[in-house]
Chain A
Amino acid sequence: DAGVIQSPRHEVTEMGQEVTLRCKPISGHDYLFWYRQTMMRGLELLIYFNNNVPIDDSGMPEDRFSAKMPNASFSTLKIQPSEPRDSAVYFCASSGTSPEGKQFFGPGTRLTVL
């Protein structure tokens, strides 16, 4: 299995532009999670899906952030308009039915908003 795939790996954009991050979870996993990692806040959960349905989006910082999962093999996280404070590494993770809820992470997208 290729693991969780994220694209792009790096994104540099200017303030005010729309940014779309993409994720392909591991086949057969029912859960998909989006995280943001910053020095100040560590690894924070933004939103997660179960069977393509958003379950908890309480971690989404503002209305500028949105996420979709149109099918079991694809999810997007969109920021519009982007701001410099959105600069961070964004991770996607997926999990199956392990009792401890073990998650498998993608390599991340490093976003820089100028």
Chain B
Amino acid sequence: DQQVKQNSPSLSVQEGRISILNCDYTNSMFDYFLWYKKYPAEGPTFLISISSIKDKNEDGRFTVFLNKSAKHLSLHIVPSQPGDSAVYFCAASGEDDKIIFGKGTRLHILP
């Protein structure tokens, strides 16, 4: 049973517009939510995180929103740039030391 779900395998967005990547989770005990970015032939790299006690965290062009009642989070990228084309993984961590990853969403930024 997937605890972290990314229901969109891929997403295409015009350069300069907003990219919105969505993620749902089932475990209400998660303490933190993280987003990772992955380029081909490289390992995932940490992008941004949010504590479960907050509803928004912003870092430059990247903002993560958390809706605990809906068990939903989203990553907003604005404006989208060509270098943002990558696979984005949503992840969650709890009391143990593990991170549970979603299956990823491939983002294509169109020129």
Contact = CB atoms under 8 A, between A and B. Distances in A.
Interface bin, chain A: 20 to 34
Interface string B75-105: 0000000000000010001001111111110
B43 interface: yes
A42 B90 CA distance: 11
B32 A100 contact: yes
17 contacts: A42-B103, A43-B44, A43-B89, A43-B103, A45-B100, A56-B96, A100-B31, A101-B93, A101-B98, A102-B34, A102-B46, A104-B46, A105-B36, A105-B45, A107-B42, A108-B41, A108-B43
Contacts of A50: 97
Contact of A43 (B32, B45, B46, B104): B104
Given A43-B89, A101-B32, A55 B97 contact: yes
Interface of B: 31-32, 34, 36, 41-46, 49, 51, 89, 93, 96-104
Contacts of A34: none
B84 to A, nearest CB: 19
Contacts of A55: 97
Q: Is the interface of A mostly helix, strand, loop or mixed?
A: strand
Nearest to B49: A100
A101 B45 CA distance: 13
Which 4 A/B pairs are nearest by Cβ-Cβ distance? A105-B43, A42-B103, A100-B32, A101-B93
Given A42-B103, A45-B100, A106-B43, 20 more contacts: A4-B43, A41-B103, A42-B104, A43-B44, A43-B103, A44-B101, A48-B97, A93-B43, A95-B97, A100-B49, A101-B93, A101-B99, A102-B34, A102-B49, A103-B46, A103-B99, A104-B46, A105-B43, A107-B42, A108-B43
